[in-house]
Amino acid sequence: MAAWGLPAGAQPSAQNPAASARYARRNTLGFFSAYSNDSSHILLGVSQNRKLLGFGVSYSRRLLLTRFVDWQYDGELLPVALESDPLSLYVDNQTAPTATTSVIAGGPIVLCSPSSRSYTFIGPDGVTYSGTETTSCRGREWTVGEAMSPLGLQWNFLPARKVQPFADGHGGYMYSTRPIPIASAGSFNFTFDFGAGLELYRSRTRSIRVEYRYHHVSNKNTAMQNPGIDNGLFQVTYCFSLGRAHRAPPAD
């Protein structure tokens, strides 16, 4: 017996073949971890040897889908954002008028590279003092904070494939329980990042994103000093479809 409204011998189509051939969600929830083992002057920041570690959640919403690109809004929330600073060690080896050594364990330092200088001066008592001052690093200090990047976009290319290259960028802030990266900087900092990676779909609703980002932290001169932090950040995100699955629209 022929299907209602179809000629005899014709079969109803279950779904649009072009739509079912693509890997693209309308709403995506993700859980991620991000880590950077070091910092240097990549573009803007000058603070060295800073580590970043974060755990958070992301939300993506599809804005435009074609056969070439899946364009998405992407926001991130990090309830746990940790930053690590190298601590300073100051050593004064005085050679005159008497030989003495003074050691001061200080706070975070901008550049974690040993430096030394010799000095000679005449004190108020008319005595000549001379010696050598050396500054180096003595360990690390972790600072707890939280961060949010409500401004973000992501572009997945070749959405018909299970392995998709993508690029993304975000803007937001980071608040820490004490000033970073040094004591005279601020506890409230602005952040932005941009990067690229691969998204590997395990099914049409679940995937894993692996990416590398340039990440910058700066207080925008709202504090006494603003050395800034540049990190190369590695991030892994486990993603799945949020809410009821929606069929992708036909390709343009």
Alpha-carbon gap, residue 103 to 101, rounded angstroms: 7
* Judgement on whether residues 124 and 185 belong to the same structural domain of the protein: no
Domains: count for the chain? 2
Mean pLDDT of 182-193: 96
Residue 235 included in any domain? yes
Closest C-alpha to 112, from 91, 82, 88, 84: 88
- Tell me the whole-structure pTM to 2 decimals: 0.83
Write out pLDDT tens, residues 41-90.
Answer: 999 999 999 999 999 999 999 999 999 999 999 999 999 999 999 999 99
What integer pLDDT is reported at residue 242 of this predicted model?
86
CB 108 within 8 A of CB 141: yes
- 36-70: buried (b, 16+ CB within 10 Å) or exposed (e) per residue? beebeeeeebebbbbbbbbebebbbebeebeeebb
Domain with 118 in it = 87-139
* Judgement on whether residues 127 and 190 belong to the same structural domain of the protein: no
